[in-house]
Amino acid sequence: MSLFILFPIIFAAPLVLTMVGLGGGLIFSPLFILLQFPIHTAVSASLFLNGIAAISAAITYFQKKMVDVKIGLPLIISSSLFAPLGAYATSKVNTIRRIFGVVLLVFVLKLLHKVLL
């Protein structure tokens, strides 16, 4: 797929999905996998793009004093510690790559259909 098609999807998907309360990673992982990216690259790129959106949202919520630091801090620490383990585990899974992408895409489409209609 051409980068001219991929870039608008990367920017449009989170915009639309955030309006309905979903994350952009819901569409990125299946999209990258269906575009023949290696699974660890697809997951890493999806998490990176989701991380940017999460940091932006966290800053906004923190400025509005809507963050419970006592709950958030342990979550940040534990997810930071275990993220490399998850990335390592995805690099070991090679046989179900396409099935994972198709199943996630079907669920995304069903969820979007349910939310939008």
Both tokens assigned to 21: 């309360």
**How do residues 1-56 score in pLDDT, each as one tens digit?**
566 777 787 777 777 776 666 766 677 788 788 888 888 888 888 888 778 877 88
Predicted confidence at residue 64, as pLDDT, reads 93
DSSP state string for 48-93: HHHHHHHHHHHHHHHHTT---HHHHHHHHHHHHHHHHHHHHHHHH-
11-20, 26-35, 81-90, 107-116: the lowest-pLDDT one:
11-20
The pTM of the full predicted model, rounded to 2 decimals, is 0.51
Instruction: Please report the pLDDT score of residue 117 as a whole number.
Output: 75
Q: Is the distance from CB of 61 to CB of 9 less than 8 angstroms?
A: no
Question: Is the distance from CB of 105 to CB of 32 less than 8 angstroms?
Answer: no
**Mean pLDDT over all residues of the chain?**
80
pLDDT at 80 > cutoff 70: yes
How would residue 78 be classed by pLDDT, with cut points 50, 70 and 90?
Answer: very high
